[in-house]
């Protein structure tokens, strides 16, 4: 036995004498006693345990084998023909499957010699995560029941990984072995991110079955699995030091550190001044508690590793500040609509807070914050969602025995200045109207080129669409989803806005009159874009745009409406070859005029839009693509010159409105005349910042005013 091994084994003995017992990562022995008592006394917890036990019993019967190789990058799982995500079909050989287009059903077959088309490798990616999560689930079942069969199965998987993991080659997602590629490298996966998720779950599983591992098992696990994995993770340095990937890296390194009482790993994960946990939590949140990348799905993707490090460190005896974790649960509530939907912006998938109810369950269990009950109102606590690489049995671990009934408070319009997002709301109940506009772009890879872009929800229906994102390797991601024309914003000369760190400002926000005015001079050179949004009532929205440039530019105002066309302007066929534009299906262009009417239907919600423009413009209509690859009506108002102003009235009450925009002067004063349901409304828009008098009518300094 070598000297290092003797010292390490002696350390284990000394730690045991000190009373540092397992489990210690997600829960302590005392917490496990409380969980067992909760199962006996809380019916929902008993049902939850029954589900977990049934699942683990089925795992005992399943032949689980560690694959002979690592997995690939999940974002490579796209059809080369239509750019949409694939799904796994029937198995055709050991570790080989058919892979089917979700659009056409066409079958594709993996090529392991090419990482981009190694579709079997993506299936293995998910299978490795399943195995890691299986060790955690079986380990938890052992802790609750004391039945050693669960621990035995978990240990078999752990031992199998110690034999195979060292033989997996190191690969990055470019097919090389560069551990400092932008997203790192791994053995089980091709990024440090995937390696971290997998390592964290295995560490949790190991912790749960620690007392059934021999001293030799523990040493071999460290030497053959945990040390080489954390070496890879730590060696990778990202360009973006505050990043969701760094949060996951810290969680894996911390878990192994706490598991093996390794102070180097613990300090690296918590206290590294460039990328450690403390820096991520202290500098990664906006003042409202939102993750700085401002993509809602990445907010919760970052929440889990930040929470789990906080929990593990506290269990280890480190005094932790939980205020950042509480803010991360509170922040999304500021943005959510009445259906708990979050606006889909930047690189975000559609997000409903109910999907993340287990996070709010643990949050209420710890903080007793009644705001969190709004998310838990319809939550079945005995069932939890499955997230890649995450142990999600949080209600049974941390939830309160009983959740009190709550009255969901109506949400009001809000300007989140620290996050650069405004939300205008009108109406009560589940059909509330929500308009979300972003006026700042984070300086990060997940930003999209749509400064002053916005989306509209009416209840559960998204009416004006933000496209979200596709799989990152798909030609549609850079070709469509991350183009300006795919968003509800302005485009100059068919080219994308600059994106990284582009800033706008909120000139005015009035939650009583219910409007916001925003402006940016970034995104293009010699350019100024002013956008005002006014919610007139729960079924009516006014959008006003003014664009100024210094040259002769093609100015496109793009809008994307969910659903299907009802009233589409007649036009001539048009061909596009510019990036983004070329993915518009069946574009048509009308003759130039100043007023247009359009309508679509989403579900049972008819959407009418009347548009009046200051300059003669053509109207281009087409079909774009939403986050699910579904076509959506797209409209572009186009003129050539150095100026455009437009007023759009969007009505959701089933009646076509009328609107007329009158330019009072060249400095930025306008009158908007609206006819809706037999009622005449006049609204003044004054962008000058001073009082203006015109034909006996006063326009006050207010940016938006009823006349």
* Residue 607's CATH number: 2.70.98.70
CA distances for 32 relative to 23, 303, 504, angstroms: 9, 24, 50
For residues 619 and 594, is the Cβ–Cβ distance under 8 A? no
Q: Which long-range contacts (CB under 8 A, 24 or more apart) does 458-462 make?
A: 458/431, 458/432, 458/433, 458/434, 458/605, 458/652, 459/337, 459/338, 459/339, 459/430, 459/431, 459/432, 460/339, 460/341, 460/430, 461/562, 461/602, 461/603, 461/605, 462/341, 462/344, 462/562, 462/602
Rounded distance between C-alpha atoms, residue 532 and residue 363, angstroms: 37
146 in the same domain as 51: yes
Beta-bridge partner residues of 107: 100
Show which of 350, 365, 398 is a domain's final residue: 398
Rounded distance between C-alpha atoms, residue 448 and residue 684, angstroms: 32
Rounded distance between C-alpha atoms, residue 156 and residue 150, angstroms: 10
227 in the same domain as 207: yes
Range list of β-strands (E), 131-236: 171-172, 185-186
For residues 167 and 152, is the Cβ–Cβ distance under 8 A? no
268 in the same domain as 192: yes
Domain assignment of residue 214, yes or no: yes
Provide φ and ψ at 556, rounded to 5°: -115, 125
Show which of 370, 398, 426 is a domain's final residue: 398
Give me the residue label for tokens 């390794």: 262
613 in the same domain as 526: yes
Show which of 374, 398, 422 is a domain's final residue: 398
pLDDT at position 410: 67
Domain assignment of residue 706, yes or no: no
- Residue 225 lies in domain: 3-72+118-398
Domain assignment of residue 403, yes or no: no
201 in the same domain as 97: no
The pTM (predicted TM-score) of the whole model is: 0.94
Provide φ and ψ at 97, rounded to 5°: -140, 165
| Torsion angle in degrees (nearest 10) through CA of 31, 34, 36, 42 | -130
560 Cβ contact list (under 8 Å, min separation 6): 464, 465, 467, 486, 487, 488, 624, 626, 632, 633, 634, 635
For residues 148 and 171, is the Cβ–Cβ distance under 8 A? no
The dihedral region occupied by 183, where left means phi > 0, alpha psi between -120 and 50, and beta the remainder, is alpha
Could you read off the pLDDT of 35-84 as tens digits, one per residue? 999 999 999 999 999 999 999 999 999 999 999 999 999 999 999 999 88
293 in the same domain as 426: no
490 in the same domain as 634: yes
Element (H, E) at 600: strand 593-602
**pLDDT under 50 in the chain at which residues?**
1-18
111 in the same domain as 85: yes
CA distances for 196 relative to 131, 231, 328, 687, angstroms: 14, 11, 22, 51
Question: Into how many domains does the chain fold?
Answer: 3
Domain assignment of residue 580, yes or no: yes
Domain assignment of residue 388, yes or no: yes
Give me the residue label for tokens 């239509």: 82
Domain assignment of residue 197, yes or no: yes
Both tokens of residue 298? 């990445």
End-to-end Cα distance, the chain = 89
Provide φ and ψ at 43, rounded to 5°: -55, -40
For residues 637 and 556, is the Cβ–Cβ distance under 8 A? yes
Provide φ and ψ at 177, rounded to 5°: -130, 40
Measured on CA atoms in the order 221, 225, 231, 233, is the torsion positive or negative? negative
Range list of β-strands (E), 408-539: 414-416, 421-426, 433-438, 454-458, 461-464, 490-492, 505-510, 515-520, 527-537
The CA radius of gyration of the chain, in Å to the nearest whole number, is 28
Domain assignment of residue 10, yes or no: yes
pLDDT at position 665: 84
Rounded distance between C-alpha atoms, residue 213 and residue 532, angstroms: 64
DSSP class of residue 72?
-
pLDDT at position 5: 43
Residue 41 neighbours by CB distance under 10 Å: 11
385 in the same domain as 513: no
Could you read off the pLDDT of 198-247 as tens digits, one per residue? 999 999 999 999 999 999 999 999 999 999 999 999 999 887 789 999 99
DSSP class of residue 180?
T
The three-class DSSP label of residue 98 is strand
Specify the CATH number for the domain of residue 393: 1.50.10.100
Rounded distance between C-alpha atoms, residue 160 and residue 168, angstroms: 13
- Candidates 690, 647, 643, 695; CA nearest to 670 is 647
Rounded distance between C-alpha atoms, residue 255 and residue 15, angstroms: 17
Measured on CA atoms in the order 148, 152, 154, 159, is the torsion positive or negative? positive
487 in the same domain as 469: yes
218 in the same domain as 248: yes
Domain assignment of residue 686, yes or no: no
222 in the same domain as 254: yes
Rounded distance between C-alpha atoms, residue 25 and residue 27, angstroms: 6
């Amino acid at each position: 036995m070598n000297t290092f091994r003797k010292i390490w084994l002696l350390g284990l003995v000394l730690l045991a004498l000190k009373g540092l017992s397992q489990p210690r990562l997600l829960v302590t022995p005392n917490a496990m006693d409380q969980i067992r008592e909760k199962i006996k006394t809380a019916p929902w917890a008993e049902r939850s345990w029954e589900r977990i036990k049934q699942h683990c019993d089925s795992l005992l019967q399943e032949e689980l084998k560690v694959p002979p190789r690592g997995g690939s990058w999940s974002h490579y799982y796209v059809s080369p023909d239509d750019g949409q995500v694939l799904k796994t079909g029937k198995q055709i050989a050991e570790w080989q499957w058919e892979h089917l287009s979700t659009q056409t059903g066409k079958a594709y077959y993996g090529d392991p010699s090419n990482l981009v088309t190694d579709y079997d490798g993506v299936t293995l990616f998910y299978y490795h995560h399943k195995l890691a999560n299986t060790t955690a689930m079986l380990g938890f079942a052992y802790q609750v029941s004391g039945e050693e069969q669960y621990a035995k199965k978990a240990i078999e998987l752990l031992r199998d990984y110690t034999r195979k993991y060292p033989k997996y080659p190191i690969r990055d997602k470019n097919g090389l072995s560069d551990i400092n590629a932008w997203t790192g490298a791994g053995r089980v996966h091709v990024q440090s991110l995937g390696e971290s998720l997998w390592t964290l779950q295995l560490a949790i599983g190991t912790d749960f079955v620690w007392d059934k591992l021999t001293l030799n098992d523990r040493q071999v696990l460290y030497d053959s699995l945990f040390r080489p994995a954390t070496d890879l993770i730590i060696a990778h340095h990202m360009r973006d030091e505050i990043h969701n990937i760094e949060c996951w890296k810290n969680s894996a390194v911390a878990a192994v550190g706490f598991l093996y009482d390794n102070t180097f790993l613990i300090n690296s994960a918590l206290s590294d001044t460039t990328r450690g946990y403390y820096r991520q939590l202290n500098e990664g949140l906006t003042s409202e508690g939102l993750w700085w990348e401002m993509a809602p799905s990445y907010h919760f993707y970052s929440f889990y590793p930040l929470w789990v490090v906080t929990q593990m460190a506290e269990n280890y005896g480190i005094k932790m500040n939980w205020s950042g974790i509480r803010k991360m649960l509170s922040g999304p509530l500021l943005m959510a609509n009445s259906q708990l939907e979050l606006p889909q912006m930047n690189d975000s998938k559609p997000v409903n807070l109910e999907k993340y109810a287990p996070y709010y369950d643990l949050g209420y269990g710890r903080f007793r914050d009644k705001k969190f009950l709004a998310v838990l109102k319809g939550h079945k606590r005995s069932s939890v969602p499955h997230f890649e690489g995450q142990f999600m049995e949080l209600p049974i671990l941390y939830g309160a025995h009983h959740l009190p009934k709550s009255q969901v408070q109506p949400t009001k319009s809000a300007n989140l200045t620290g996050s650069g997002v405004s939300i205008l709301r009108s109406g009560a109940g589940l059909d509330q109207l929500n308009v979300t506009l972003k006026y700042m772009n984070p300086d990060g890879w997940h930003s999209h080129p749509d400064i002053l872009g916005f989306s509209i929800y009416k209840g559960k229906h998204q009416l004006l669409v933000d496209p979200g994102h596709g799989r990152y390797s798909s030609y549609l991601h850079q070709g469509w989803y991350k183009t300006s024309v795919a968003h509800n914003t302005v485009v100059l000369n068919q080219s994308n806005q600059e994106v990284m760190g582009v800033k706008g400002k909120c000139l005015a926000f009035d939650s009583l009159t219910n409007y916001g005015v925003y402006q940016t001079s970034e995104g293009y050179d010699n350019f100024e874009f002013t956008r005002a949004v006014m919610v007139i009532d729960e079924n009516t929205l006014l959008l006003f745009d003014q664009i100024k440039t210094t040259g002769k530019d093609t100015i496109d105002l793009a809008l994307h409406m969910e659903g299907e066309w009802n009233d589409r302007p007649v036009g001539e066929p048009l061909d596009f070859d510019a990036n983004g534009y070329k993915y518009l299906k069946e574009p048509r262009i009308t003759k130039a005029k100043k007023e247009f009417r359009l309508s679509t239907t989403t579900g049972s919600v008819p959407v009418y839009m009347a548009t009046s423009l200051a300059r003669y413009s053509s109207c281009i209509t087409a079909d774009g693509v939403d986050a699910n690859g579904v076509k959506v009506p797209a409209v572009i108002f186009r003129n050539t010159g150095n100026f455009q102003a437009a007023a759009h009235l969007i009505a959701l009450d089933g009646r076509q409105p009328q609107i007329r925009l009158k330019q009072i002067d060249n400095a930025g004063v306008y009158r908007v005349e609206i006819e809706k349901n037999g009622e005449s409304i006049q609204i003044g828009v004054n962008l000058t910042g001073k009082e203006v008098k015109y034909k006996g009518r006063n326009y006050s300094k207010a940016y938006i005013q009823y006349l």
